[in-house]
Structure 1
Amino acid sequence: MSTVLDVAICLLLIGVAVGTLAVAVPDDDWRSTVDGDPAAASVGAVTATVPVANDHDAHGTLAQHLARASVLAATLDGERLLESTYPGATRRAVERRTTGRVRITARWRPYPDAALAGGLTVGPKPPSTADVAATRLSVDSGMAVPEGVDSTESLATAVADAYIDRLFPPERTRIRLVDRRVASRTADRYRSLAAVLGVDVAEPLADASPKQANERLASELADRLEAGMESGSDTAGPVPDGTATADVEIVVRRWEP
């Protein structure tokens, strides 16, 4: 379990240096699409406070926690990019607030077959003989749909930029890099991700320049994503649809014995 890397949540959940982090409750239109399924409705409406680290708590709906935990738990070609206790804490919080006959899967994948993807599963698998009802929800990932995409290179760049800036919002991260209370933990988090990507961020961190550090990380991530797209499909074919970047898909399955 990594106390150092759990500083990620302070940024990912629109964090502040101290206190409780709050996430907006979904609007009525969003809730109305799931009201027919009590289990799905509870995921979108029930709130929880999930411990992060360093006396921080994150507060939001179960759906919001699941979405953000999925983004934070992302892997690249199956390798975890950042370690954190938050996804596990989210899983436990959701388990305590749902019945034993509910299985919830949250998935984030910016485009089909992307090498970068995250997810979280809560609850047991339904029995093969059970009558299963499923409801699908779409939750904001905190990243915008890539615009002006006309090639695998531009899609990879847009997704990589969005993802790295989601993990390290430049303005808030700069403040943390010059705050003696959290500067070391924030820098260690950068170094951890940089090690996975094989990127040197020593100079940007010494200068407390998250923008420059983000550019280096995003550049390498974009190269990896583009290489994955080109190796997995006909390069002359259409550019993959990147609209899923903006959403985390949550599927709630419930069943009767």
Structure 2
Amino acid sequence: MLITEDNKKILKKFIKLASELGNALSYDQLTGFLYGIAITPEILPPSEWIPLIFAGKTPEFPSMDQGRETCDGLIQIQKTFNTAFRAGSLVFPFDIFSSRAETFDAILEWTFGFDLALSLRPDIWEPEESSSLPPGMIHDVLSSLMVVEGLLAPEIRNVVFDRLPQEIMKEAVTETDSAPGDTPDRQLAVLLFTLPMAIDQLQKYAGFLDAMRTKGLGEIGEAGAPGEKATAPATMGRLIRGRFPRSHR
């Protein structure tokens, strides 16, 4: 288990340092945030991302020693995420298919924190088609971001599903599940269904950038690039890419 019970206590204790109730990320938002920090292929100093946990305000500690101890605990947990990513063992922390209805709120909160972390480096997570990256990879990255954004922003979700092929809808929802008037619920179901794939694509992209910086694009070759076969996230992305910029929270 990536996050132990002791880790949970540390994270929840850190959140309680907020000066006002509700002025900090929730536990699930924080774990998604740490996940996003871990896969960002650039070193993000704690002084940059810790204040975001508290809406941009650095918390006040009762003493310098307690502040150092608490921050050190958080940073050690973040290093655990980083190590897992490097080892290829950092995985999406929810089982979409066995999750109960009450778990979906936690998934959405996790996604919010994850997106917040990616917004720290939009130049990395929004690659230009003119870059030296394989075209298929750029397409999958931007498409996967649309899945994340669609879960968080209803206006993006609506644009996606105005033209979404019914074949993709049927992958997530059976005919007996669908009924007139429940389109928003079905939209959310499809996006939840594709979220693990989108997160996996983003991690592959981050790993590719790491390898490219250490070995060079020529040595990696096309072996490191994902295939051109369209995935559900990729199909969604084609429908709305360019219509909405990513929100920066």
Q: Please, what TM-score do these two structures have when normalized by structure 1?
A: 0.33
What's the TM-score once normalised by structure 2's chain length? 0.34
